[in-house]
Amino acid sequence: MSLIDHTHDPLARSWVASANADDTDFPIQNLPFGRFRRAGTGEDWRLGVAIGDQILDLKLAVGAGPWDLRWSSPLQRLLEVLALGDLNVFMALSAAERRSVRHGLFAGLREGSLGEAALQSCLVPQAVAEMSLPCFIGDYTDFYTGIHHATTVGKLFRPDNPLLPNYKWVPIGYHGRVSSIGVSGSTVRRPLGQLKAPDSEVPVLAPCKRLDYELELAAFVAGGNALGEPISMAKADDHLFGVTLLNDWSARDIQAWEYQPLGPFLAKNFGSTISPWIVTMDALEPFRVPFAHPEGDPQPLPYIDSAKNRSEGGYDIDLEVWLQTAAMREKGEPATRLMRSNFKHAYWTLAQMLTHHASNGCNLQPGDLMGTGTQSGPEAGEGGSMLELSQGGKQAMTLPNGEQRTFLLDGDTVILRAHTARPGTRRIGFGDCAATITPAPSSIS
């Protein structure tokens, strides 16, 4: 059953004027959730909804109610959950309850709403807001669903066998590190690690020399499951809350030495960055697309297959990576785009990732994070990492100002961006996911 409703009407407008701009990431059809406070105030963190260049402070908004004809006691009780400032509690509500809150917020912010006078004073300009992680993240799993990334990287190390036999049968993933996840606008320190040159007999501890970004999306889990109880494909969508951008930074030279036989460790756990706004699955409903493995590839096993997943399991989301070097920033030059791709090329869907994750009885919890893996496109120049764009460091990229890069240098700012824009829909975006590289520590004492 289609979940597209009046909140997706591309002609709907908001009384918040900036939400009606053609290029805004946050029109009234989006309404993503984030956690913020007014910069420099030291006030408690609170939940908000992005609308144009403003944030609707949900604590203030609930206190200003009732502010629309849709207001009711059940709606007020649900909004009061958000007013408390704990998004994980809201995530644990049923999909129907979460959707009713979306409807209520849409009604209050829509042009002509009776709530305009009450809600005007509940707006905070995004320009004066400080953002944090949107919720408590209990666990983080990173998948490897970008087949074009997996193939290109595999060819660098295994030219005759780029994809291992299990790739087309099972959504591959590894357990990541929650404590080092940061929000957009932060810095990432270049890590120290063991490096071993091919012609050296022993490794050395030194700053990473091949620091890289990875262009990913990340899905937040909504209601979880009890330990030992799998989640079926039929119920997977109800267990997904929303999506952010994710930069899963990688130290490629540390990774090359340490990853066998147990996979990523210190090359990955030093930092991951997410965008501050969670775009809900409800907002993404108009951007679903059919999903299928290529003809001749193995078809998914029954437990990660369904008619709905085949007909609309994918999402049409445009993805981009931008880079601003320290020299560009000093001269006031804008960031330059390095590449673009689309999430519709992923080899596994969000529903398959979640269902497979819980298929052995693993208990997922509200706020758990699932990264999609690097989302590269099928064409040359659509690599979602510098490892791909520089062909393993063999071919430097020349930037518009003449600088060259094979991997990231200190002072580089990497910005991930994403938006959806299909005919007959309103463009929605995710907001920037940006972070700047700072130098490694001089030593470990």
**How far is the C-alpha of 48 from the C-alpha of 59, rounded, in Å?**
8
Overall size of the chain counted in residues:
445
d(CA 122, CA 77): 19
Known binding residue 213? Answer is no
Burial code of 14-25, b = ≥16 C-beta within 10 A, e = fewer?
A: bbbeebbeeebb
Of 403, 349, 408, 413, the C-alpha closest to 375 is: 349
272 is in an annotated binding site: yes
Query: Which residues have a Cβ under 8 Å from the Cβ of 160 and sit 6 or more positions away?
Result: none
Q: Is 149 a catalytic residue?
A: yes
Select which of 8, 148, 149, 345 is catalytic: 149
Please tell me the distance from the alpha carbon of residue 86 to that of residue 132, in angstroms, as a whole number. Answer: 13
Ligand-binding annotation for 216, yes or no, is yes
Q: Is 144 annotated as a binding residue?
A: yes
Helix (H), strand (E) counts: the chain: 12, 27
- Residue 142 is assigned to a ligand binding site: yes
Residue that has been written with the tokens 């998948």 in this structure: 143
Query: Rounded distance, CA 104 to CA 108, Å?
Result: 6
397 class by beta-carbon count within 10 Å (0-12 exposed, 13-18 middle, 19+ buried): middle
- Residues annotated within the binding site are 142, 144, 158, 214, 216, 248, 255, 259, 268, 272, 374
- Residues annotated within the binding site for Mg(2+) are 248, 268, 272
- Residues annotated within the binding site for Ca(2+) are 142, 214, 216, 248
The catalytic residue positions are: 149
- Residues annotated within the binding site for substrate are 144, 158, 255, 259, 374
